[in-house]
Amino acid sequence: VFPTDTKGVPVRAIGPEAAGRVAAAIGIPAFAIGGITPGNAGRVRAAGCDRLAVCAAILASDDPGGEAARLLE
């Protein structure tokens, strides 16, 4: 969804709106992934993505449990 360094290679970020359109069009459960943080997760959900996969925001945090809780807010 957003730029991320987690994979170690450049990836094309499509943005939350495009991710929401894809999620709506495919008709099966899908996960939005890439650069998702507590600061932008609401925007991704508002675009129509109800499943988020998050890695770096949690693993890089000094408080992984708190970071995960913030993502659920």
What's the pLDDT tens digit per position in 47-59? 999 999 999 999 9
- Residue 27 domain flag: yes
- Residue 5 domain flag: no
Burial of 46 from C-beta contacts in 10 A (0-12 / 13-18 / 19+): exposed
- Residue 35 domain flag: yes
Mean pLDDT of the chain: 93
* Distance in angstroms (rounded) separating the CA atoms of residues 58 and 69: 10
Sequence-ordered list of residues with C-beta below 8 angstroms from that of 39, at least 6 positions apart, any chain = none
- Residue 7 domain flag: no
Q: Tell me the HSE value of 29 on the side-chain side, using a 13 A CA sphere.
A: 4
Domain count, the chain: 1
CB 53 within 8 A of CB 18: no
- Residue 3 domain flag: no
- Residue 68 domain flag: yes
- Residue 51 domain flag: yes
Question: For residue 32, what are the domain limits?
Answer: 15-72
How many percent of the chain have pLDDT more than 90? 84
